[in-house]
A and B are shown apart, each in its own frame.
Chain A
């Protein structure tokens, strides 16, 4: 299964694509921080820091109503 197929299946369940190779569960995001080059750093509930690429930041902002 390709990542975009997985993304289509999981989007209704609060999962979203943040980079070419990563889908995250947005419910598990605990903190957000702007990063260089228009990217965004997401701190997950397990302490892991994930960097969302520029092209996916707009969908995160749209989700938050920004």
Chain B
């Protein structure tokens, strides 16, 4: 068993909680959930982007992930790495704004990090998200505090890495990751944008949450929720 288990399960930790298998089906479920959430939150993302951008973030992501779902349906990926790589390539090709190249390269790099392993363990997942963050930093050159998706993703990846290092179980680690992402996205409200369309607004960008940070929270929450649902539905003793 490659799954990390915490030594001292905290209160509420189910005695018979079985580790979730992070296989191809899991990753497809994550992306499927992401597509649904992005569609559901499209108006909110658009509203955030209208305040400090050009109002297309919600639409772009929704259309991008709708394309991703079509590709995944028709291509039948055989490994977790392929699921993410296809997601990335599709986003690059179909989303014409900044989030296409940025999320696209992130998913693609994460997919490559998973190579052709049929199942991924928690450290492998963390390493893939490390690679995703590195790809975004390299392409977009945003620094911490520029008021971008990085301000949600960097703390999230850091929290996940910390959780893995202390031997946390999957769901605990993903909960920590999501909490850090949410906190990071909230912190963008006070920041002044130094990158992207919002940077043209200067001081007027202050007081609004960054839409890229908000969508990062959605994507990572979908990852956690997919794991949570898989955990809850595992029959005991399997």
- Asked if chains A and B come from one complex, the reply is no
- Give the interface of B toward A (CB within 8 A): none
